[in-house]
Amino acid sequence: MKRGNSLVFAWLLIVFITQAQAAMAGVSAEAVESSLREGNPKATLEHFFSCEKYVGSAYEKIAMGSPRWISIAESTLQYSDACYTEGIQSALGSAMQKSPQHVLPLVDKTSLLSANYICLPFISNELPVQSQIAEIVKSKRAIQRVHAKNLRTKKSSCLSFIESVEAQVRGQ
């Protein structure tokens, strides 16, 4: 009987761990892409993006910088408004710090993807100046590491914008 209880316990533990991992994984690219294919982008934004919640949302996934999520950001941005737009742009700014080679091709592609929207993540001016500078430097260094010839103009556009923001923050 004890062996039977141990097996049941082990099975329940496996189920619990699997469910916990699924919950931690949050939203999936497949689910967002499927929702977009179904033809209601506003419902997709409402379901997978949130104006109140970052953790577990599509913003968090975009910020990781994978090409697939960056593509999702680009495709959802055209349907977004207000908070969704700002959230997606900031997530792309965070992705720029991790995978600039994947985000730089989007720079200046549309007005919503201009350098001043996606080259930096949202940086609150309520943060201490040193924290603001640290985020700016992180973005600048990531972009400076990209040496692809086809991205020179986009890289230059980002660095120019970032340097202007840095000058403003340092002048506070």
Task: Break the chain into its structural domains and give their ranges.
Answer: 28-170
Alpha-carbon separation of residue 73 from 85, 122, 127 (angstroms): 10, 16, 26
pLDDT at 26: 78
pLDDT at 28: 97
Residues 6+ apart with CB under 8 A from 106: 70, 74, 92, 113, 118
Q: CA–CA separation, 94 vs 20, rounded Å? A: 26
**What DSSP string runs through 68-79?**
HHHHHHHHHHTT
pLDDT confidence tier of residue 3, bands split at 50, 70 and 90: low
Mean pLDDT (the chain, rounded): 88
Residue with the bigger pLDDT between 152 and 1: it is 152
> Which tokens hold the place of 84?
């969704």
> Which tokens hold the place of 138?
């992180």
Question: Which ranges constitute the DSSP H helices of 104-151?
Answer: 115-118, 129-144
